Amino acid sequence: MNTWIRPYVKEHKGRMLLTVFLGVLGIGSSAMLLFLSGYLISRSALRPENIMIVYVPIVAVRAFSISQAVMRYLERLVGHDVILRMLEKMRTRLYSALRPQAIFFQSRYKTGDLLSVLSDDIEHLQDFYLRTVFPSVISLFVYGVFIGVLGLFDWVFAILMALVLAVIVFFIPFISLKMTRRKFIALKKGRNKLYEQLTDAVFGLSDWIASGRVASFLTNYKNEEHNVLDIEKKLKRWEHIRSGMIQFCIGIAVMMMISWTGNQTNTGQLEPTMIAAFTLMMLAITDAISPTSEAVERLPAYEDSLRRLIEIENAKVPAGAQFERKQDLKCDSGAAIELENVSYQYPSSSENVIHNLSLTVDAGKKIAILGRSGTGKSTLLKLLTGALQPTTGNVLIAGEQANQNLLAKSISILNQKSHLFNTTVGNNIRIGRPDATEKEIASVVNQAQLGKLIASIPLGLQTSMEEMGHRFSGGERQRIAFARVLLQQTPIVIFDEPTIGLDPKTENDLLQTMFTAAKDKTVIWVTHHLAGVEQMDEIIFLEEGNIALQGNHEELLATSSKYRALYEMDKGI
């Protein structure tokens, strides 16, 4: 509440108070409409001797009828406006919390879990205001004003009516909250689980089919869905019971009002025409306070949504996302990249992944980094891009401590599977630099050897990539992603195994294209095998977080039997 609710309430309290005020005016208009309608019906039945006796109430009925609709509309207009303003900031805040964790998504969150947070949790906070805060505050205000007005006529009756209506405003919501708390939490967890299972099944659909387990998956999924539906049925059953209890209390309140107004008429305190007026007004009041139970019983769902949002926001992000510049770090060597006795240890580990590694890469130099899985290649890349900060030592990019602010300015990355969005080819390339001119787009298209491909498709750069770029082959998708990288015009380019999964010819062609286009750039190429390493200025083998072999292709062939064996094995000799 202190982090995701109160700050926004405080910031928008003016609009929220206006929403409540308009809601109260709407209910007041509705109450006066029924009050005057009851009076008008009763007065008209007595054949008034003067038409003005009913003419004024008729005008008032029309005025309150219009006022009721207008106030309800304005309440919703202002209420939704303030909620959408708050949701905009909440979504931005959630994005800001997720952005530093982007590199760690796969290890931290399930796709279905993230989908649930993005689709359900923020929307629940919208409902918190629209279906809980506003109705509850308005109900309490109307309850207090109504009891106060009754007290002006008869304080004893006002106390009795307060007790009866308190059952609707306080007792039933309390019971409803107790009855539904566990069910709402179970329902939300069940839906989250269904999200996870569905996304997992969609991504692995081909494997389910290949293993002949589709029927088994569907059976399990239906069972989980049946459990969720069972919880929903129980909540609906309680909703009907709660509604019956509220209607019973409303009936008692209306009967008490009829009895009281009858007694007041007999004693001459009220005119007979007021019996219908007060009774009908009672219906408007009870209609205003009855949503309190439904509003309060949803609190457990909001609490669970808040808990998940807070967990994401408070998730520990390895050093690097919150980078502070160290003024004493300067490099005068002119090197593009310099690692000075760098070590890194993940918070959950007791051993260093990178251990006391030192490396200097001059501007324009081409470096290949190899090593088996688990030797620290991915961690080294995260250190270079500033996603992580070293436990000890310094990582300098052109003399500046590596940080994520350098991405897209000094460093660009071509990943194993760069994400291509469901938009045009041109838009996917332009992501690298939105303000790029058509001439610059054409230039990087040619550098990435995409000219013939673009010319062969009818719509050219306006051709849709389709979801995940499925309109094109693997090699074509990587070339489009490479064109995006080239458009960023950064002096340093990192290739993170960009040819994985491609056939040898496509791989060779793509490597030639990449190295030719990046001939004037500093290149860090992480790879698992040795195809194309002849073109590198230096080859580095990582082993247990440090450099085991270092040199160019000819030097390593001549001096390292291990390198010769790996090279011959990779070449199929």
Quick check: 199 and 115 in contact, CB under 8 A?
Answer: yes
- Residue 491's φ and ψ, nearest 5 degrees, are -75, -20
Contact 356, 341 (CB under 8 A): yes
Under the banding of pLDDT at 50, 70 and 90, the label for residue 167 is very high
Lowest mean pLDDT among 313-317, 434-438, 491-495: 313-317
Residue 322, pLDDT > 50, answer no
Instruction: Please state the rounded mean pLDDT for residues 437-450.
Output: 86
Query: Residue 193's Cα: distance from chain center in Å?
Result: 17
Average of per-residue pLDDT across 32-59: 83
The pLDDT confidence band at residue 325, using thresholds 50, 70 and 90, is very low
Cα–Cα distance, 139 to 45 (Å, whole number): 34
pLDDT of the residue at 74: 94
Q: Residue 195 above 80 pLDDT? A: no
- Tell me, what's the pLDDT at 159? 94
Domains and CATH numbers, the chain: 6-313 (1.20.1560.10), 335-571 (3.40.50.300)
**Token pair of 206, please?**
């081909």
- Helix pair 134-153, 13-45: axis angle to 10 deg: 40
Retrieve residue 510's tokens: 């793509």
How far apart CA 79 and CA 17 sit, in angstroms, is: 10
Q: Which of 549, 482, 538, 552 is nearest to 336 (CA)?
A: 538
- Model pLDDT, residue 161: 92
46 or 138, which is more confident? 138
Checking if the pLDDT of 332 tops 50, the result is no
Band of residue 191 on the pLDDT scale cut at 50, 70, 90: confident
pLDDT at 333: 40
Contact 390, 344 (CB under 8 A): yes
pLDDT at 211: 67
Of residues 220, 224, 193, 195, the one with CA closest to residue 208: 220
Mean pLDDT of the chain: 81
Strand partners, 392: 343
Are 40 and 59 spatial neighbours (Cβ–Cβ below 8 Å)? no
pTM of the model: 0.60
Q: What is the DSSP letter of 490?
A: -
Query: What is the identity of the amino acid at 130?
Result: L
Q: Is the pLDDT of residue 139 over 60?
A: yes
Residue 402 contacts residue 390 (beta carbons within 8 Å): no
Instruction: Please state, as a whole number, how many other Cβ atoms lie within 10 Å of the Cβ of residue 121.
Output: 23
CB burial class (10 A; 0-12, 13-18, 19+) of residue 234?
Answer: middle
How many Cβ atoms sit within 10 Å of the Cβ of residue 333?
10
Give the residue-averaged pLDDT of 203-215.
68
Over residues 477-495, the pLDDT tens digits come to 888 888 888 888 888 888 8
pLDDT tier for residue 323 given thresholds of 50, 70 and 90: very low
Whether the CB-CB separation of 506 and 482 falls below 8 Å is answered with: no
Please compute Rg for the chain using Cα positions. Answer: 35
* Predicted local distance difference test score (pLDDT) of residue 115: 59
Q: Looking at mean pLDDT, say which of 91-95, 210-214, 380-384 comes out highest.
A: 380-384
Q: How far is CA 304 from CA 119, 290, 311, 465, 550, in A?
A: 14, 25, 11, 38, 53
- Residue 337's pLDDT is 87
